[in-house]
Amino acid sequence: MRIVTLAHETDFAGWRAAARQMAIDGVAPEHVAWCIGSNGGLFADDPMQHEIIDPPQFSVSKRFMQLCQRAALHTDPDRFAFLYRLLWRLRQQPQLLDIAVDPDVVRATGMAKAVQRDMHKMTAFVRFREIDIEGGERFMAWFEPTHHIVMATAPFFTRRFANMVWSILTPETSVHWDGQKLHELPGAQKSDVPAEDANEDLWRTYYASIFNPARLKVAMMQSEMPRKYWRNLPEATLIQPLINSAAARTQNMVDTAATDPRKHRKMAPAAGPAAAPAGSLRQLQQAAAQCKECPLWQPATQTVFGEGNAKARLMLVGEQPGDQEDLAGHPFVGPAGQLLDRALEEAGLDRASLYVTNAVKHFKFELRGKRRIHSKPGLREMAACQHWLDSEIAAVKPDLIVALGATAAQSLLGHGATLKHYRGQWTALEDGRKVWVTVHPSYLLRLPDPAAKAAEYAQFVEDLRQAAAALKSIS
Amino acid sequence: MDFQIKLQVLADAAKYDASCSSSGSDKRDSKDGRGVGSTEGMGICHSYAPDGRCISLLKILLTNYCMYDCLYCVNRVSSNVQRARFSVEEVVKLTLDFYKRNYIEGLFLSSGIIRSADYTMEQVVRVAKVLREEHDFRGYIHLKTIPDASEELLAEAGRYADRLSINIELPTEQGLTDLAPEKDARAIRRSMGRLRWRIDESRESRANPTTRKPLRFAPGGQSTQMIVGADATNDQAILATSANLYGNYRLRRVYYSAFSPIPDASKALPLKPPPLVREHRLYQADWLMRFYGFSADEIVDPKGGMLDLDMDPKLAWALRHRERFPVDLNKAPREMLLRVPGLGSKAVDRILSTRRVRALRSDDLARLHVPLKKILPFITLPGHSPGATLDAASLAAQLRTPPVQPDLFG
């Protein structure tokens, strides 16, 4: 029988060194006894083994070490023997930890989880009290953890309260942060910490006021804030009185007849934008913002109306706003808009001199998981939106219109108009205005083949150049 | 007015906001700063009130004076509740005093609308600005955003806050028009759209290693809250609204708040105990949408459009789709395991992990820590087959757990 004596309750390094050596020596778990004490040191019965000189290495997964590191902080007195047994089994079955239903794995993960939870509760339930001392603020807290977690949790407090001087006292170990360095100190007593802090009354006021008596859920509270923590929480003295009075308070709210509304000045109707002249672009835009003529308005964020030069000689008409346009409220600001901007520049057209709009003013999409997938507007939606486009044309009075894609072409030239048929030629509308049809920039974005994409893009720029040239020729 | 009374009034006025989350922001600490504070990804609940709600943030209103007359709200202009107003300095000091004593993770600041949207927003933002710039406070800050506040104020709010939120308030636009006449559902959606736009933009700039000074904008994202039971909207419509909001605005959370009796309630609303079980079922359904691969339109029974109060929505779905069961625990893909009643995502991970090494047997089930009574009728594995129980007409009745409400003594 080997007896391993670890230096203290959290001597994980000692366990690790001993466990490694014994695993290499092939000492079965049933032949090892683990104890904790300041005398003796490792392998007390066998002084020959005391110095481990460069032991042969073997490796275990990081995941296993992390699991052991947490589980070793558990109060279970058998923990070091148990973890050695787990290591022993792991060497025979390297995939052991994957078998989540293995009793030893269940036990180890359960221990690690309990420790993790205790650490988390320490970060939550430590309550500092300020102590009166010369030379600035100083804080102290008394906490009673379940497991041996104080040193493992202390770094959280040094990160958070790096510029404060504080101490956390517990029965087993205490920690003190002097603003630079963390000191480990012996255990202490509750009476070593001041009995009050001036802010605790305010904190209790807050606690009582944020509680809603109409929604009592005591079991829920207790599962997250077990009773064992209550004795060190200043607010806990309020729990029972709040529970006791909740039913009566709620009944009182329900029973009390509504009072007469307090007299108040009625708000002036929201000072919306001043009414714009009928038929003007601004008036059209305000009216379109309220449009509910087809069902697309509901799932969308907003109407995305046309924008740009109100006296533009060239108007661009796209299909409909996309995801980004719907969020921003402006046409052609997403990826397709950026591509369009680049092409316009190459074609020698200044976007600021144009009027840019869409055939349909709301984003039509389908939700797939959390993603909004663009769907093509239907005839009904196009028909509902037609009058907005017609009014925009009537207001801006462009000489030329470029239709980007089939939907725009159909809105301008009628149902059935195809790109194939109309692209690369000027088509006159009934009022004599000329329309030039090209592709939608998002079509270019979707092309998978880089060569085809480059060729189509060049063609697109060429189409825009033609429009620019036509514009020059009629000025 | 006595400070303690102010705190009482302005905390009481804030408690109908369900959110108290302090999670999901970037990681930081105060080691290289002059003040206090850290955020480490996962939030911390520093206390729990007997209503079962976590107390993580100091959740208060800057003022409960308000120009609006939203019928469901304790702070509506026509209510006779006591009014108070904090100064910017008072909120800053209280936040720091509480934070240094480890009572809180930070501040959740909201406000009644006074004077104008911009004026109110400017006051709220000022608190965050003073905390961050004058005191180098690195704890969590959640700011309630006033719809249609100016772009500059919004950018500033995002620079100082970890999370921003705008409450959608009611699941339908009609509901909002009826109960909150001054609020504009379209303005709320527009503002959520603007927030998502800026949050995405900041995330991209931080992800791009060539950005020299990344834009900071609400790294903890945005959330919203919907009041349940103040109008007649059914659960199907509520979940459809949630799915739309998650998809449109990438919300971190939609909070459901059972309409609760309030002091000095409006005559226009019936005062009943809050539908807490319904709220709970909606949260479960919300989880099914976000983590279990369910789509919004399959969770609720189309007959009636309401979630079953006596059983969780996944169990109710499975009972309506018995033809998809039993599921073989050793063969079924992850997506199908997630649809087994009683199997949470962690249990599914444990099953998948074990399966890679060896087959599961019926005697392993006890160590999965799952509710066996609920699961057994829907699964098969060596040593267990549900046989006729799956198709028995009595199965639903056996698995029903009548809700107990109110939960008085735990």
Look up the ipTM and state it.
0.95
How far B394 CA lies from chain A's nearest CA (Å)?
30
Q: Kindly determine whether residue B260 and residue A301, on different chains, have CB atoms separated by under 8 Å.
A: no
| Contacts with A381 (C-beta within 8 Å, 6 or more apart), sequence order | A294, A296, A360, A362, A364
Contacts of B57 in chain A (CB under 8 A): none
Q: Kindly determine whether residue A233 and residue B53, on different chains, have CB atoms separated by under 8 Å.
A: no
Tokens (6 digits) for B298: 């399959």
Contacts of B12 in chain A (CB under 8 A): 209-210
Task: Give contacts of B 65-124 with A, CB under 8 A.
Answer: 67-69, 77-80, 94, 97-98, 100-103
Of the ranges A222-231, A332-341, B388-397, which one carries the lowest mean pLDDT score? Answer: B388-397
Report d(CA A379, CA A285) in Å as an integer: 22
How far B44 CA lies from chain A's nearest CA (Å)?
6
Task: Give contacts of A 16-75 with B, CB under 8 A.
Answer: none
- Cβ atoms of B138 and B35 within 8 Å: the answer is yes
Contacts of A243 in chain B (CB under 8 A): 50, 409
A320 lies in the same domain as A360: yes
A321 lies in the same domain as A452: yes
pLDDT of residue A12: 95
pLDDT of A319 > 90? The answer is yes
| Contacts with A237 (C-beta within 8 Å, 6 or more apart), sequence order | A204
Phi-psi region of A157 (alpha: psi -120 to 50; beta: other; left: phi over 0): alpha
pLDDT band at A269; cut points 50, 70, 90: low
pLDDT of residue A58: 75
Indicate the average pLDDT of chain B: 93
Task: Give contacts of A 288-347 with B, CB under 8 A.
Answer: 289, 298-299, 301-302, 324, 326-329
Report d(CA B201, CA B236) in Å as an integer: 33
Phi-psi region of A424 (alpha: psi -120 to 50; beta: other; left: phi over 0): left
- By the CB < 8 Å criterion, does B266 face chain A? yes
Q: Is residue A199 part of a domain?
A: no
- By the CB < 8 Å criterion, does A219 face chain B? yes
CATH assignment of the domain containing A290: 3.40.470.10
Indicate the average pLDDT of chain A: 91
Report d(CA A97, CA B127) in Å as an integer: 49
pLDDT of residue B143: 98
Report d(CA B55, CA A238) in Å as an integer: 15
Strands (E), A160-203: 166-169, 173-177, 182-186
Q: Is residue A363 part of a domain?
A: yes
A104 lies in the same domain as A139: no
| pLDDT per position as a tens digit, B387-408 | 888 988 899 999 998 765 544 4
- In terms of DSSP bridges, do strands B54-55 and B47-48 run parallel, antiparallel, or are they unpaired? antiparallel
Of the ranges A244-248, A365-369, B30-34, B265-269, which one carries the lowest mean pLDDT score? Answer: B265-269
pLDDT of A228 > 60? The answer is yes
Interface with chain A: mutation pick from B38, B96, B248, highest number of A CBs within 10 Å = B248
Q: Is residue A219 part of a domain?
A: yes
Q: Domain segments of chain B: what residues?
A: 3-274, 313-399
Q: Kindly determine whether residue B11 and residue A216, on different chains, have CB atoms separated by under 8 Å.
A: no
Of the ranges A171-175, A374-378, B188-192, B204-208, which one carries the lowest mean pLDDT score? Answer: B204-208
A294 lies in the same domain as A425: yes
- Cβ atoms of B238 and B313 within 8 Å: the answer is no
- Structural domain harbouring A212: 206-244
Q: Would you call B34 helix, strand, or coil by DSSP?
A: coil
Q: Per the structure, how many domains does chain A have?
A: 4
A348 lies in the same domain as A459: yes
Q: Average of pLDDT values for A204-219?
A: 94
| pLDDT per position as a tens digit, B132-185 | 999 999 999 999 999 879 999 999 999 999 999 999 999 999 999 999 989 999
Report d(CA B80, CA A306) in Å as an integer: 47
Interface with chain A: mutation pick from B59, B103, B148, B277, highest number of A CBs within 10 Å = B103
Q: What angle, 0 to 180 degrees and rounded to 10, lies between the N-to-C axes of helices A406-413 and A379-396?
A: 70
How far B192 CA lies from chain A's nearest CA (Å)?
8
Nearest to B52 among A124, A128, A217 (CB): A217
A360 lies in the same domain as A465: yes
Nearest to A199 among B98, B273, B407 (CB): B98
Report d(CA B246, CA B227) in Å as an integer: 17
How far A161 CA lies from chain B's nearest CA (Å)?
5
Q: Average of pLDDT values for A430-448?
A: 93
- By the CB < 8 Å criterion, does B59 face chain A? yes
Task: Give contacts of B 188-207 with A, CB under 8 A.
Answer: 189-190, 192-194, 196-197
Report d(CA A232, CA A230) in Å as an integer: 5
A239 lies in the same domain as A292: no
Taking Cα atoms as reference points, which of B228, B234, B51, B251 lies closest to residue B145? Answer: B251
Report d(CA A97, CA A60) in Å as an integer: 11
Q: What is the spatial order of strands in the sheet that A434-438 belongs to? A: A307-308, A355-358, A314-318, A400-404, A434-438, A426-428
pLDDT band at A222; cut points 50, 70, 90: very high
How far A369 CA lies from chain B's nearest CA (Å)?
7
Contacts of B262 in chain A (CB under 8 A): 253
- By the CB < 8 Å criterion, does B274 face chain A? yes
Radius of gyration of chain B (CA): 24
Task: Give contacts of A 123-142 with B, CB under 8 A.
Answer: 123-130, 137, 139, 141
A107 lies in the same domain as A182: no
- Cβ atoms of B378 and B328 within 8 Å: the answer is no
Q: Average of pLDDT values for A88-108?
A: 96
| Contacts with A460 (C-beta within 8 Å, 6 or more apart), sequence order | A343, A438, A439, A441, A444
A42 lies in the same domain as A146: no
Q: Is residue A457 part of a domain?
A: yes
Q: Kindly determine whether residue B250 and residue A199, on different chains, have CB atoms separated by under 8 Å.
A: no
pTM of the model: 0.92
pLDDT of residue B406: 47
Q: Average of pLDDT values for A167-188?
A: 96
Contacts of A327 in chain B (CB under 8 A): 193-194, 196-197, 248-249
Q: What's the sign of the alpha-carbon dihedral A155, B217, A336, A318?
A: positive
A466 lies in the same domain as A377: yes
pLDDT of B211 > 90? The answer is no
Tokens (6 digits) for A448: 């998978």
Q: Is residue A102 part of a domain?
A: yes
- By the CB < 8 Å criterion, does B291 face chain A? no
Q: Is residue A151 part of a domain?
A: yes
Taking Cα atoms as reference points, which of B60, B103, B48, B11 lies closest to residue A203? Answer: B103
How far B227 CA lies from chain A's nearest CA (Å)?
14
pLDDT band at B269; cut points 50, 70, 90: confident
Q: Is residue A255 part of a domain?
A: no
Q: What's the sign of the alpha-carbon dihedral A236, A238, A240, A242?
A: negative
pLDDT of A364 > 70? The answer is yes
pLDDT of A272 > 80? The answer is no
Q: What phi and psi, each to the nearest 5 degrees, are found at residue B101?
A: -95, 5
Q: Kindly determine whether residue A258 and residue B267, on different chains, have CB atoms separated by under 8 Å.
A: yes
A6 lies in the same domain as A62: yes
Q: Kindly determine whether residue B45 and residue A201, on different chains, have CB atoms separated by under 8 Å.
A: no
Q: Kindly determine whether residue A250 and residue B261, on different chains, have CB atoms separated by under 8 Å.
A: yes
Report d(CA A75, CA A256) in Å as an integer: 53
Q: Kindly determine whether residue A219 and residue B353, on different chains, have CB atoms separated by under 8 Å.
A: no
Q: Kindly determine whether residue B55 and residue A253, on different chains, have CB atoms separated by under 8 Å.
A: no
Interface with chain B: mutation pick from A177, A215, A266, highest number of B CBs within 10 Å = A215
Report d(CA A263, CA A266) in Å as an integer: 9
Report d(CA A185, CA A188) in Å as an integer: 9
Amino acid at B377: P
| pLDDT per position as a tens digit, A129-148 | 999 877 788 999 999 999 99
A187 lies in the same domain as A221: no
pLDDT of residue A53: 52
Q: What phi and psi, each to the nearest 5 degrees, are found at residue A99?
A: -80, 85
Fold for the domain defined by B3-274: TIM Barrel (3.20.20)
Q: Kindly determine whether residue B364 and residue A101, on different chains, have CB atoms separated by under 8 Å.
A: yes
CB neighbours of residue A216 within 10 Å? 26
Tokens (6 digits) for B37: 């504070």
Q: Kindly determine whether residue A163 and residue B16, on different chains, have CB atoms separated by under 8 Å.
A: no
How far B378 CA lies from chain A's nearest CA (Å)?
20
